[in-house]
Amino acid sequence: MSKSVARVCTDTPVTTLKAPRLWDFSVDAKSPLISANVVSDSVRFIEFTLCALTGLIVAAAYVSDLNTAMHASYLIAAFATAGISILSFHYLGLYRIDRLVAGVRNLPRIALGWMVAFAFLAAGLFFAKLGGEFSRFWMAAWFVAGGALLIAERLVVASLAQSWHRSGRLSRRAIIYGTGPVTEAAIAQLEDDLNSDIRICGLFDERGDGRAPLSTNGYPLLGKLQDLVQFTRSTRVDLIIVALPITAEARIDQLLTELSQLPVDIKMPAGASRLRFAPHAYSRIGDVAMIDLMDKPIAAWGGIAKSVFDKVIAVAALVALAPVMAAVAIAIKLDSRGPVLFRQKRYGFNNELIEVFKFRSMYTDLCDATASKLVTKGDPRVTRVGRFIRKSSLDELPQLFNVLKGELSLVGPRPHALSAKAGTELYDDVVKGYFARHKVKPGITGWAQIHGWRGETDTELKIVKRVEHDIYYIENWSVFLDLYILAKTPFSLIKTENAY
């Protein structure tokens, strides 16, 4: 292929596409994106550790007369040289994804960066008049061993990166809204940029009656706005490019209201506006300047941190609460006939349906799988044990298994049942932009719950307040906020007036 970017997703209709834009492999449309920043940062950390440890191991093995002071000197020298090598690799562009994929072609740059680091080490020892204090054999052995290990490590990284690249996991899948001149200019820029990781899946435009062309620059028109939303729900989309003139304010505002419910980055080409801002006001896709409209929440390292946090705490909670869960299971079994667990379909991340586990709190023949009728005070469908575990939220404990499966988070907007209502109206009919709360994984507890918005939603105000708190959580997430919510949850459970 002559063009290395702006690639078309192979799971979209391709009858009108130009062949050079197609990859010759299939891509799993649901395979998760591997963040380029995470990969680059991980390689930095690995190489820093590799360089420093090699120097220390060589010193420990071959320099026999190390005293306490010299131990510290070798330690400082090893870590300083490792840090300089990482800076050298960075300025040589060796942490860009295209360079990580390249493999053998980058070996001369690796060698150059490693030599630069040792040149700084030698210069530092010379000017500090410490050359006689350090073993020359140590420096030579470290240079050779460290260089060999860096080359081997880069070949392994290249093999992995090439595999991820072929499967599409290192490429961001993008769709473009708009089919006018701004779109044509944006596509041309992306195709000419050799550093872009974008694969364009297709175009969407609300204009009908033949005003929107069936293809632009060879990319197909896949539908209107609602088709875009459905496409993003059903396949992996990482980026939406809004290619409209910035003067179309009303149209852009209406569009963002709909797109704000999707867990994707939303950007506008800088060329959509004649205004020119300071360089730091733009983000970049490769070398193409973009204006950020909305960011995907809890992405890259944030997503990894939250996932690890969830798994570790969930395992610890299951171990600690095992006796309590066993006691609840026995009580349910003794109180009424039927299974201990109740499974219910609920909306998960990006509106995907998930099956949530709960301890059964209703009589088996009266269970309401879709929550079409609110549970009210004194509800005859609820068992004696059920009333207690619902008030105390013990019925939610099996959802820890959903956390381990990756369907739920410990903290997040609560997953609502399919037919849940505020009074007599479905939640999404009451709250405009309701599905924006599904931009992150739902949680067992959340910001709304610790502020008293739990239990029955018999009025529209209650669901409005829930959603407001959920959106606040999404926009202000941090690990510390999750810790705060978990710490406050036991105290919030004491207030049971809304839990039936």
* Average pLDDT of the residues of the chain: 85
| pLDDT at position 110 over 90 | yes
Query: What percentage of the chain reaches a pLDDT higher than 90?
Result: 45
Parallel/antiparallel/unpaired status of strands 198-204 and 172-177? parallel
User: 500 near 382, Cβ under 8 Å?
Assistant: yes
pLDDT digits (tens, 9 = 90+) for 315-346: 999 999 999 999 999 999 999 899 999 898 89
Look at residue 275 in the predicted model and tell me its pLDDT: 67
Residue span(s) of the chain under CATH 3.40.50.720 come to: 19-27+170-294
Q: For the chain, report the end-to-end CA distance as a whole number of angstroms.
A: 62
pLDDT digits (tens, 9 = 90+) for 379-436: 788 899 988 998 888 999 999 999 999 999 999 999 988 877 777 778 888 888 888 9
pTM of the complete model: 0.82
Look at residue 249 in the predicted model and tell me its pLDDT: 82
d(CA 262, CA 350): 7
The residues, any chain, with a CB within 8 Å of residue 221's CB and separated by 6 or more, are: 179, 202, 203, 204, 205, 212, 213, 214, 215
- In terms of pLDDT, which residue wins out, 377 or 489? 489
User: 7 near 200, Cβ under 8 Å?
Assistant: yes
**Strand ranges (E), 315-445:** 341-347, 353-359, 409-411, 421-422, 425-426, 443-445
Bridge partners for 382 per DSSP = 362
pLDDT digits (tens, 9 = 90+) for 448-498: 999 988 776 778 888 889 999 999 999 999 999 999 999 999 888 776 565
Which pair of structure tokens corresponds to residue 90? 């960075």
How far, in whole angstroms, is CA 415 from its chain's centroid? 19
Q: For the domain covering 19-27+170-294, report its CATH number.
A: 3.40.50.720
